[in-house]
Structure formats: C-alpha cells, structure tokens
Amino acid sequence: MKWRKITIALVLVLLGIGCYAREIEPKALAVTRLDIVNEFMPISMNGIQIVQFSDTHLGPDYSVDQLQSLVDRMNRLKPDIVVFTGDLMDHYTRFGSENRKKAHRVLAKINAPLGKYAVYGNHDRGGGGSQKYKQYMEDAGFTVLVNEVHTIRTATRDKINIAGLDDFLLGKPQVKRTLQSLRKEDFNLLLVHEPDVADQLSAYPIDLQLSGHSHGGQVRIPLIKPLITTALAHKYVAGLYSLQGKSKPLKLYVNRGIGTTRMPLRFFAKPELTVIRLTAAVS
C-alpha cells in the first residue's frame, strides 16, 4: 500500500510538471534588465536602451496573437533600438501565406526610433524562406544585417556600430570581411544567431555580442545540464558571459528566446525579452 501511494504521488508530480512545462512556462514571459557599462560608449548616447528578442518560431506552438502580445509588451518598454537575433518562423512554408501576412503587420508595429535590426537564424535559412526572409523583415521596417556593419550616428557625429553575421549553420558568414573594419576605439555591437561562435569572434574588437539559438536549454533540471541543446549552443546557453577578447573584453548575452522547437516545452527556461541599457563609463 505504501509503495502504491508513493507511485501515485510520483505520477501526479510528473503530470503536474508536464502540464506546467507544456501549458504555463512557455507563456510566462520574463523581462531581463541588463546594464552594460563600457568605456567606448559615447557620452552623447549614454543610456540608450536596446530590446532583444529571439527565436519566436512562429508556427503551431506560437501564434500571431501571441506575437501581437509580445510586440505590445516591447513597445511599452520604449526601446531606442530593437534587435532580433534569428529564427522568426519554425518553418516558413508550413506557416502559410495568410499567417505570414498577419505576422508581418504585427512586426511592422514595433517602435524603435534608432532602428530595428535583424539577422538570419538557421530556421530562417531553412524551411523554404531563405530567399524571402530578408525582404519580409525589411518590409516590416527592419534592417537585416547579412555580413555587414551599420553605423548609428548622433547629431554630434558620435556613433556606435551594429554588425550582423549570416547564420553559421546554414548560411555563409563572412567573418573577416565583415569585422575587420571595426575599430577598437568605437563601441561595436554584434548580432549573430549562434552564441558559441563568440570564441572565434573575440579576435575582433567587439564590445557586446547578442545571440539566441539555445532557447536557454529549453528544458532544464537544476544541477543537471540542459536536456535540449543544439549545435553551436553547447558552451554558452543562457545569460551574460565575459570573454577576454584579443583587443578588448567581449560581453556575450544569450537570450532564451520566445518560442519552442522540437518539443513544445519549457522548464526552468522561461521565454525572455532582454532590455539592455548601454552606459558610458566616466573616469
């Protein structure tokens, strides 16, 4: 009788965890606030705010209505810059043309006075959308950075650079050609989908790398490694990391993403918006 009660209790606990991981945590959006103090940030741009979102994986497990709620939340945060670090749709062609049109209208509503920027993820390169993603995002007001650097300037001619690399799994990233023009004395932000490439990119003068791809492990049990990992997201899974770059320190932030893939579950890896405030270091 005792073992029967224990077995029933364990079954109920597992069912409860399964229900939470399937129905509750995937919808429990967390907002992570991060202050980055950097000596290369211009004083005239002190305090600008970046909102990062990633890995929406629009599809059967993340709807356009959910995307609308996400965009409403982002706009309430009043970002100066919005960045998207890849994997918009889980599978472009399966999402359907009508859903794509609706999602496009929602993405166009994101407000960011200093610009909206995006890069390719592996799901953007796959699923039949590789040749369409860039135009799709640009028509929604994003600048899609494919192996290129964009400069934001102030009225006083101060600037920060935003670089973006193509996806490392299915794209054609051109690291040297893209990053060799970056100067140590500037603040350089890099957007790239896969986080683990930070180790090879730290040879360039990058101050902050923003990535996604890992989903924060998606299903995590305390004291155990994430159950769901993917290529180029094994070492850096979630949160802020500090790397010793060749010419200056590199901060890497790995966003846990919004949607799910492979399994529609999240456990100890809530979906996330990251709010990053860039502050000029004053000596």
- Domain ranges, ordered by start, for the chain: 2-280
- Mean pLDDT value across residues 270-275: 97
Predicted local confidence at residue 154, as pLDDT: 80
Domain 2-280's class? alpha beta
pLDDT at 3 over 70: no
Task: Report pTM.
Answer: 0.94
Q: Which residues of 194-216 are buried (b: 16+ CB within 10 A; e: fewer)?
A: bbbbbeebbebbbbbbbbbbbbb
For 127-141, write each residue's pLDDT tens digit: 999 999 999 999 999
pLDDT at 168 over 90: yes
pLDDT at 13 over 60: no
Predicted local confidence at residue 1, as pLDDT: 65
Beta carbons of 27 and 250 less than 8 angstroms apart: no
**Residue 183 to residue 22: CA distance in whole angstroms:** 46
**Residue 221 confidence class, pLDDT cut points 50, 70, 90:** confident
Predicted local confidence at residue 223, as pLDDT: 75
pLDDT at 27 over 90: no
